[in-house]
Chains A and B, each alone.
Chain A
Amino acid sequence: MKEYRSYPIAFYGKGSEYFKIQIVNTILNILTLGLYYPWAKERSLKYLYSKNTFDETPFVFSGTGKEMFKGFIKAIVILVLLYGIFTYFAMHDHLGIAALIIYGGILAITPLAIHGSYKYRMAKTSWKGIRFGYTGNRKELIILFFKGIFFTLITFGIYGAWFTIHLRRYVLSNIKVGNARFVYTGDGSDYFGLNLKGYFLSVLTLGIYSFWWQKELFEYFINNLRLEQDEDAVFFRSMATAGGFAGLLIVNALILVFTLGLGYAWVVTRTMEFVMNNIEASGYYSFESLQQAQEDYSDATADDMADILDFGFVI
């Protein structure tokens, strides 16, 4: 018999442990002149995943340095080619064409990077031995992306809110875990109103309201997300407060400033802890009915590309 229950979410990572991983990664990066980067990424992600738990079971990241190294090289070749063509035109005083190539190129790469990056990351994420998967269609995402860019441009940015939500809805609603799927139900108008209110109140209060704004954005992300399979679902709810965000962000900034950046590991673990401890999950779902259903995917090119271009992973 099914019963309504909550599923604890927590992060057990420690700043000191993550710091050690980061230091070893950096040492090896220095010794290899940066070539160790994909293996460094593997170690960092494996640690962070392994200390994140849902329903008292940790996540697993199974991507390997070797896969990411291959992707890294391919991504570098593509970007070097792009910058090469850009430099050629820039050096020959065709600045207009050069700008078009670099902006156009990066714009064209973006949806491909989002698609490939989700495909790789999700295929390499598992929980209770069940693989995640991203089942979005590349063509659909490209159309969605360019339509969004076009309308955002002609509405002088106003459509940006709808664009973000459409993109988020598409990507998140295509994430599966085994035979269960995530659903995101955010709406462009709500998101626009939220940002409009957040922006003006932040300006009026000299930035103080920005913590409430942050809290509402986080809430909007989490509260509109659910995991479902047939008639069963798990709902997510944010418990974060504006005060909590203020404490997190201010202390994080102070850590970075006073350690000259060396305290970055603590910034990451503090943030993860804050995020995970402030999400509640509850519903009618027995995870024992999860079945392995998603395929493996090992091409990390897009994931590395997204990394190099510094796109945030979460949309």
Chain B
Amino acid sequence: MENCTILYFDGSSARPSQVRVLLFNGRIHIHDGEDDHFLQSFPLKGSSYNQVGFTHYVYLDTKGLQYLEFTGEHPLAEGIAKQISNANPSLVQDLMRQKTVILVTLFILLGVGLYFFIITLIPFIGTKVIGVQEEIRIGNQLREMTITQEATFGVTIDTAGTHQLQNFADHLKLSKRYPIRVTLLKRNEVNAYALPGGQIVVYSGILNKIKTPEALAALLAHESTHVNEQHSLKSLLRSAANGIIISVIFSDATGISGALVSNVENLNGLRYSRMLETEADEKGMELLLKNEVSVDGMRQLMKTTLQKIEDIPSSLSFLSSHPLTKERIRNAELFIKKHPQRPTTREDLKIIFQELK
């Protein structure tokens, strides 16, 4: 039991009065400091505590309007924080009592677990829920957006080339589920990419570098695998999932972990992208086999189009969206060894290819 004089703010004005406080039966009893008459009592449960410098504050109600103020030298200062904390037990209090190192470890474990769970779950559910027709529609819309965007940089569609390239693609069985639609853009960059639902965009830069119909078939087979395996859709859903993780779960005042999750996703997204590229190479070669096109086309494609592009040093390969070219050529050579073919030439493809060139 403590008997003492301290300042009491009663919530009606900012002028405090001097009081004596008795602490018993889980309540704080307040008596007038001058004539000792009883003023009011408050339960410890529902009260809260703050210390700033040497001054202690005990808030007597949840609104924080009525409170006591006293200095650290006061006998009440000792132990009051603990008594209030004991009277208001909560999981948060228990967690706050843990060491920071333990909390950070727990945070990392939970964060990583949840991140991988959501980043896997959303693309999985999304690809199941979004039907083929819907995917085709999304792909068409994205194609329109891409072309509009490219047009702002002066890039136009090569209509005749697109027609011939489409003809080339139509002579291959590239997809059972999606209609493969190819667009050739007049742009010098050595690149091609797949959009959801069967849309493939090829730049004239890569086409100019391709010297054989087999290499062109390999390029289309590689991009068609991205389509068949829904890689673009999965990547889109993955970034959506990432957005959800950052904005909903880690959103605490734009804070602590939003930036961390972004950084993790940037690196992990690249790893994911390399994984998809490797899969597209491998399944692309299987498509070539099925179409009776020489699998060597894939090796040629990489040698002629990719090798001149500087790879980043292998020690930094985790920072690349694509596997290293050397590694891709080695994989292609291994695949060719494992799947020997009779030497064949698809005359139909050869004719269209010559027209295209």
State whether A264 and B63 are in contact (beta carbons under 8 Å apart), knowing that A23-B104, A58-B50 are contacts in the complex: no
State whether A310 and B254 are in contact (beta carbons under 8 Å apart), knowing that A58-B57, A129-B65, A261-B263 are contacts in the complex: yes
* A288 CB contacts on chain B under 8 angstroms: 13-15
- A186 at the B interface (CB under 8 A): no
State whether A23 and B107 are in contact (beta carbons under 8 Å apart), knowing that A30-B249, A261-B256, A292-B11 are contacts in the complex: yes
What 0/1 pattern do residues 43 to 70 of A give for CB contact below 8 A with B? 1100000110100111011101000000
Give B115's nearest chain A residue, CB to CB.
A30
State whether A24 and B252 are in contact (beta carbons under 8 Å apart), knowing that A19-B100, A261-B263, A288-B15 are contacts in the complex: no
In the docked arrangement, what's the CA distance between A64 and B63, Å?
Answer: 9
State whether A56 and B252 are in contact (beta carbons under 8 Å apart), knowing that A16-B100, A27-B110, A62-B62 are contacts in the complex: no
State whether A130 and B52 are in contact (beta carbons under 8 Å apart), knowing that A62-B62, A261-B259, A262-B260 are contacts in the complex: no
What 0/1 pattern do residues 224 to 258 of B give for CB contact below 8 A with A? 00000000000000000000000011111111111
State whether A58 and B52 are in contact (beta carbons under 8 Å apart), knowing that A128-B14, A261-B259, A264-B256 are contacts in the complex: yes
Are B95 and A24 closer than 8 Å at their CB atoms? yes
Are A261 and B252 closer than 8 Å at their CB atoms? no
From DSSP, what is the main secondary structure of chain B's interface residues? mixed
8 Å CB contact of B255 from A33, A264, A292 = A264
8 Å CB contact of A24 from B14, B50, B103, B257 = B103
What 0/1 pattern do residues 240 to 266 of A give for CB contact below 8 A with B? 000000000000000010001110110
Give A52's nearest chain B residue, CB to CB.
B52
What 0/1 pattern do residues 9 to 43 of B give for CB contact below 8 A with A? 11111111000000000000000000000000000
Are A260 and B260 closer than 8 Å at their CB atoms? yes
Are A26 and B257 closer than 8 Å at their CB atoms? yes
Are A28 and B260 closer than 8 Å at their CB atoms? no
Are A256 and B259 closer than 8 Å at their CB atoms? yes
Give A91's nearest chain B residue, CB to CB.
B137
**Interface set, chain B 67-120, CB cutoff 8 A to A:** 67, 69, 91-92, 95-96, 100, 103-104, 106-107, 110-111, 114
Are B63 and A296 closer than 8 Å at their CB atoms? yes
- A173 at the B interface (CB under 8 A): no
* A260 CB contacts on chain B under 8 angstroms: 259-260, 263
Cross-chain pair count, CB within 8 angstroms: 145
State whether A28 and B66 are in contact (beta carbons under 8 Å apart), knowing that A130-B14, A291-B12 are contacts in the complex: no
In the docked arrangement, what's the CA distance between A60 and B14, Å?
Answer: 14
B28 CB to closest chain A CB (Å) equals 16
- B179 at the A interface (CB under 8 A): no
In the docked arrangement, what's the CA distance between A60 and B67, Å?
Answer: 11
Give B59's nearest chain A residue, CB to CB.
A60
8 Å CB contact of A292 from B65, B110, B254, B259 = B65
- A40 at the B interface (CB under 8 A): yes
8 Å CB contact of A44 from B13, B52, B107, B252 = B252
In the docked arrangement, what's the CA distance between A262 and B103, Å?
Answer: 13
In the docked arrangement, what's the CA distance between A60 and B184, Å?
Answer: 64
**Interface set, chain B 245-293, CB cutoff 8 A to A:** 248-260, 262-263
Are A287 and B64 closer than 8 Å at their CB atoms? no
In the docked arrangement, what's the CA distance between A126 and B63, Å?
Answer: 9
* A16 CB contacts on chain B under 8 angstroms: 100
- Sorted from nearest, which 4 A-B pairs have the closest CB atoms? A261-B259, A60-B64, A290-B14, A128-B14
Other 10 A-B pairs with CB < 8 A, given A261-B256, A268-B255: A23-B104, A24-B92, A29-B252, A30-B250, A34-B249, A43-B92, A58-B57, A126-B64, A178-B13, A261-B262
11 residue pairs from A and B, CB less than 8 Å apart: A12-B52, A23-B107, A24-B95, A26-B256, A29-B252, A43-B92, A50-B50, A260-B263, A261-B263, A287-B14, A310-B254
